[in-house]
Amino acid sequence: MMKFLLMMVFMIPLCFIKNMFWIIQMMLFFMMFLFVNLNLSLYFSNLSYMFSCDIISFGLITLSIWICSLMIMSSENLFKVKFYEKFFLLNILMMLFMLYMTFSIMNLFMFYLFFEGSLIPTLMLIIGWGYQPERIQAGIYLLFYTLFASLPLLMGIFYLFSKMNCMMMYFMKFYNMNLFLLYISMIMAFLVKMPMYFVHLWLPKAHVEAPVSGSMILAGVMLKLGGYGLLRVLILLQEVGLKLNFIWVSISLVGGFYISLKCFSQVDIKSLIAYSSVAHMSLVIGGIMTMNYWGFMGSYILMIGHGLCSSGMFCLANINYERVHSRSLYINKGMMNFMPSMSMWWFLLLSSNMAAPPSLNLMGEISLINSLMGWSWISMIFLMLISFFSAGYSLYLYSFTQHGKYNMGIYSFNMGLSREYLILLLHWLPLNFLFMKIDYSMIWF
């Protein structure tokens, strides 16, 4: 695991050399393929005092490197207008470093450190390269929501250390902590990060104000940090979890339904995609909190699927934004007249978003519906509504942007570039072809 860290560290000087934008992007792709080929192991591999990689870490690290390289690819505009592109590359490398450490480290305290540290590069992305002045407020929302909930997590980790005399996640399965306060403090930070309904307000704000790269990393990887943390920590809290998890499942299911309704009232494309992320993540929280096999598997698969799908949709929104200079649904109409081939990509990614086969989202949602139905049949009502409205707002977004009479204010226009098609293909291919290798995600217990 150390070799990839060193590779990232040695890429840092490249950021400050002229015209290294695409070189770094190619290096990240190369690193991703190296990582996949060296690490394809189902159980803990490379287990050491600090680092380790099992299937959960493996999938999420691969996703992080992949999304980071696509972020550079979709931010060509910064390179063209020379808008602090060297610092931008440094920022992305720092973020990847933090994410890599978060997912691969075994020590609970170090995990906390990098889990929180990944906020800083995201904040810089939003405040430094965002579009509107409101980005300052969005950054403060992001910071305070997540930091407010994560101080108790730090206290909880210290308490665990005093009881266990060790911080290795690997050894947590030998302990059972039946403590209410510990449960709340350990879990709250991850629920805010997911984000759970009631503590989700920072997400749409951050997405709307972030540049395309910020939206991609937020949707693609940042939301997964919470799910990863829950998957790791719930081993300790099984007994108290059996008593109290129903609270989070209920909030998530009802909240997912409310958020799905809220999607229909959005007029900002980015805002709609951000709210749909919250709806998907509410299913993931529900699945993890049932603490059964199907739930854990489904949440992992849906996290990977949603990371690719949502990131691709933010890319599409940005492609429209670069042409029309507006994210409003009222102005982005009739795009099929201008970019017919781009509307195929809208269709492909939105159909994946509504969990149509053969996307990973479908497999994840089937597993999650299985787990939640096994947990309580009453959850069927909200699962039905969430699935139905998920298809509803995806179709609403597609028909609103692609059909209709186009805005007469649009004067001249260029069609999709090959770079943009490549980005979308690299989102869509893994999203639909990892379905072939679903057995890797299904047998990791």
Looking at residue 112, its pLDDT comes to: 97
**CA atoms of 396 and 1, how far apart (whole Å):** 44
Q: Exposed, middle or buried by CB within 10 Å (0-12, 13-18, 19+), for 377? A: exposed
- Report pLDDT digits (tens) over 316-353: 999 999 988 899 999 999 999 889 999 999 999 999 99
Integer angstrom CA distances of residue 167 from 51, 57, 161, 334 = 13, 18, 6, 56
Phi, psi of 53 (to 5 degrees): -145, 115
- Report pLDDT digits (tens) over 234-278: 999 999 999 999 999 999 999 999 999 999 999 999 999 999 999
Q: List the structure tokens of 389.
A: 């409205």
- Looking at the DSSP assignment, which residues form a beta bridge with residue 45? 53
The answer, yes or no, to whether residue 41 has pLDDT greater than 80, is no
Share of the chain above pLDDT 70, in %: 98
CB 371 within 8 A of CB 241: no
Whole-prediction pTM value?
0.95
The answer, yes or no, to whether residue 90 has pLDDT greater than 90, is yes
Mean pLDDT across the chain: 92
Looking at residue 40, its pLDDT comes to: 65
Looking at residue 445, its pLDDT comes to: 52
- Report pLDDT digits (tens) over 166-225: 999 888 888 888 999 999 999 999 999 999 999 999 999 999 999 999 999 999 999 999
Q: What angle do CA 72, 433, 316 make, to 5 degrees?
A: 40
Share of the chain above pLDDT 90, in %: 82
**CA atoms of 345 and 337, how far apart (whole Å):** 14
The answer, yes or no, to whether residue 444 has pLDDT greater than 70, is no
The pairs formed by 118-124 with CB atoms below 8 angstroms and a separation of 24 or more are 118/222, 118/225, 119/143, 119/146, 119/147, 120/94, 121/91, 121/92, 121/94, 121/95, 122/95, 122/206, 122/214, 122/217, 122/218, 122/222, 124/91
- Report pLDDT digits (tens) over 379-422: 999 999 999 999 999 999 999 999 998 888 777 778 889 999 99
- Looking at the DSSP assignment, which residues form a beta bridge with residue 105? 51
Looking at residue 1, its pLDDT comes to: 81
- Report pLDDT digits (tens) over 358-385: 899 999 999 999 999 999 999 999 999 9
- Report pLDDT digits (tens) over 179-193: 999 999 999 999 999
- The rounded Cα 28 to chain-centroid distance in angstroms is 19
| Neighbouring residues of 389: CB distance < 8 A, sequence distance ≥ 6 | 257, 260, 261, 263, 264, 279
Integer angstrom CA distances of residue 265 from 106, 192, 196, 407 = 43, 24, 20, 21
Q: What angle do CA 249, 427, 413 make, to 5 degrees?
A: 120
Q: List the structure tokens of 113.
A: 């450190």
Single-letter amino acid, residue 282: S
Q: What is the mean pLDDT of residues 108-116?
A: 96
